[in-house]
Every structure is written in structure tokens, then in C-alpha cells.
Amino acid sequence: MDRRIIFLILVIIIIGVAIFALREKGQVRPAPEPTPIAQIPLSPSPMATALPIAPAITPTPTPPPTVQPVVAIEVPQQDPLRLLEKAEALVKRGEKEEAWQVYSQAVQRLEGEQAARTKRIVTQLASQILFSKEPSSFVETYVVEPGDKLYTIAKPYKIPHELIIKLNGLKSNLIHPGDRLRVVQGPFDATVDTRNLTLSVYYRGRFVKEYPVGLGEQGVLPEGKYPVKSKLINPAWTHPSNPMSADDPNNPLGERWIGFYSEYGIHGTIEPESIGKRVSLGCVRMHEKDVEEVFDLLVREHSTITVKDGI
């Protein structure tokens, strides 16, 4: 046999033996045919079992916030009876000025006899605080300087000089340098209640005193807030149909005049029986002693007169 053929046969045998040996050792294995993706079974992992995958959510647009209409909240007024209890407790503790403020709030909410009784209490309390010799945070001391007059002292305090006379018990307008005078920082104001026919004086919103008055027919004196325009002692009656001089005993204006609206004003009367009635031409009539007190409290331009149909 030809040597070449024999050599070729040996080579084939050697290669075959080598391939067989390698297969047995697992070093050369034929690559498995790829399995189509659709045939691969999906086995869920432990994490996927514990935490299921949430389905996809399409985001929903957030609607604009609804604006609620603003509703006014009514704040209830304090019970006047509770205010009275509080004021009485303050008086017992000696806190008179604080009690005066609380009493004044209660007065405007009370009616009938209870209101009248409370007003008498407040009037006495206000008198002690403002017009007595007792110490008060509302009362200051003014030391008279050379050249001072009562009216020059009173002007910056917005009070009439007559009130300084009253506060200090002076017998006349005569004062001397070095005199120590009690003064209060004004002004005082007044309110005319056309329903109840009364005039009430207030000091910085605090009730001072109430007086009965006579008025004209309903609606003659319009509601409103008016500054004090004029003040006269022993005024003349200038009514065009029947004018009278200041000293005429038939002069219907009495001894005081406080003008505040058009030709109308607060004045005294020679007919005290008309107080509490509607018989005037539109002015506010008062008893002589009452109008003199009010005259000494109100000051031109700074004090106001409020006309109201009830408080």
C-alpha cells in the first residue's frame, strides 16, 4: 500500500481520537440552537412576587381649587349682665377707672330701669374720677406761669375754662403764678337720643351723665355728628318774628346757648314743663341747671354733638 495513503489514514485516526477525548472532558460542546423568544417560559422572581408591579396610571389633570365665598362672621356682643358683674368686681378691687370703662359698655346695651340704675352708678363713679380731689390718671397738674389766663391754659387741653374753675373750686377767674391747677385732657362730647328725649355726655367714649331734654317734632333735627360752633351766656333770641333781648324775662333760650347745627342749638328754657316733650321749634331744651353743667364741659370746635334716633 502506498505510504501516503497510510499516513493520511493515521492522521484521520489521530484527529478522531483527539476529538473524542475532548468531548469526554466537556471542553468542547456544540452550541445549543437558540430557542425562539416566544417559547421561553417567564418565571417570576421572588421580588416580583413580593412586590407586584403596579399597572401604568395615566396622570389626571388637577382641577383648579374652588374659591369659597367669604362669609361674614357675626361677633356676638358681650352680655351686659356679665359686663355689670365684671364692673362690680373691679370696683370691689379698687380699680375704679377700669370699672368706669366696663360700665360704659354695659350702659349702651341695657334698657329700662336697669339701664337707669346703672347710669346713676356710672355718673357717681365718673364724678369721683374726674371732678373730685381723688387721685386719677385722667387728671393732670398744671403750674400757673406769669401771664397765664384760664382760657389760655384751657385751650391746649380742649376744655372750657369754666371746667378748670369747677375742677379746682375757684371763686373767680383770678389765678397767680405758682398756683397748681387740676386739669383734664378733653374734649367731652354729647349725644342726643331723639327717641328717648335724652342728652348724654361722654368723655373719651366713657359715659359721664344723662339729662332729660325737650325737642321739636320728629325729623326736625336731622341725625348726624356736628361740631360745637358757638357758646353764649345769656343769649339773645333772634327769631325773626319775635326777637328778644338777652335780659328779657320772656326770652325762651334761658341763660345758655350751645350752637351746633344751622340755627339750632342746646339751650335752657323758661318753660321747664316742656322738658320730655316735643314742643320746641327744633332746638334741644334743657333744665337751666343741666344746660349749665353741659355748657361747662363742651368746647367750641373740638366737642361734637351726635343726634341719634336711639342708642
Give whole-number Cα distances, 211 to 58, 175, 289, in Å.
79, 32, 10
How many beta carbons lie within 10 A of that of residue 83, not counting itself? 21
| CA torsion, ordered 198, 201, 202, 208, to nearest 10 deg | -100
161 is catalytic: no
- Active-site position among 161, 176, 239, 283: 283
Q: Which of 239, 267, 287, 302 is catalytic?
A: 267
Amino acid at 123: T
181: number of CA atoms within 13 Å, CB side? Answer: 30
Catalytic residue annotation:
267, 283
